[in-house]
Amino acid sequence: MELVGSDCMEINTEQFSSRGAPIQCGLELSNGFRSRMDDWEKHRTLTRVKLHQGVVLSGAKLVNSKPFRDRLLEQFNSLKPVGGEMEGHATYAAAQVGKVEIILVKAICDWADGDKDDSAQLFAMEMAVDACQHLLSKPDILSELKAKDRGLPTHTSNELPDVSKVLAEPKKAQASFENDYEVPFDIFD
């Protein structure tokens, strides 16, 4: 899968001109989703939820306009995009700086056609999380990345740090917060 910055372009009255290079997702995670998800099956009413892998357009604009969406699809037609979203481009850029493998997993909750409705967001989020959990629960899925499953977080919700400290004294509290909480997956050796 590739992520293409849909905001990295020149716009004139005639056309859009792409000015950015696609960002590749991580090979190991991409291969995992491509080859080890055949047994994942979820349904919404009468239809089966489908996984699609491909180019995703990403930019800072919330697109809720069919004409604008259609212009983007026309401009990037040769890439055959499977969707669009807003957060992935910055996330991929941060992962590249940290030399961390990453993959974007998103679920469709609207069609960018002018009829935006948040009613499907919860279901879409649950499907994306479930697909990731399903893949990451497979044996040795992270071994090529030298990642270590560190188990569940050691804190219960009532033991989590008070984030108001971070707002009041950012530098002092940030150091405390980082030392008190462990994330379940550590991809750094």
The tens place of each residue's pLDDT in the chain, 189 residues long, gives 567 776 665 555 556 566 667 788 889 999 999 999 999 999 988 899 999 999 999 888 889 999 999 998 998 898 899 999 988 888 888 888 888 889 999 988 888 999 988 888 999 999 999 999 999 999 888 888 887 666 666 655 566 656 666 566 655 544 444 444 333 333 333
Residue 189, judged by CB atoms within 10 A of its CB (0-12, 13-18, 19+), counts as exposed
Per-residue CA distances from 103 to 67, 95, 159 (Å): 29, 10, 31
Structure token pair of residue 182:
């462990």
Domains of the chain: 2-145 (3.40.50.1580), 147-189 (no CATH)
pLDDT at 129: 94
The whole-angstrom separation of Cα 71 and Cα 69 is 5
Check if the beta carbon of residue 52 is closer than 8 Å to that of residue 112.
no
Q: Hey, how many other C-beta atoms are within 10 angstroms of the C-beta on 88? A: 25
- Rounded CA-CA distance 1/52 in Å is 10
- Alpha carbon distances (Å) from 38 to 137, 142, 167: 14, 18, 45
For tokens 């990731």, the residue is: 132
Distance CA 131, CA 105 (A): 8
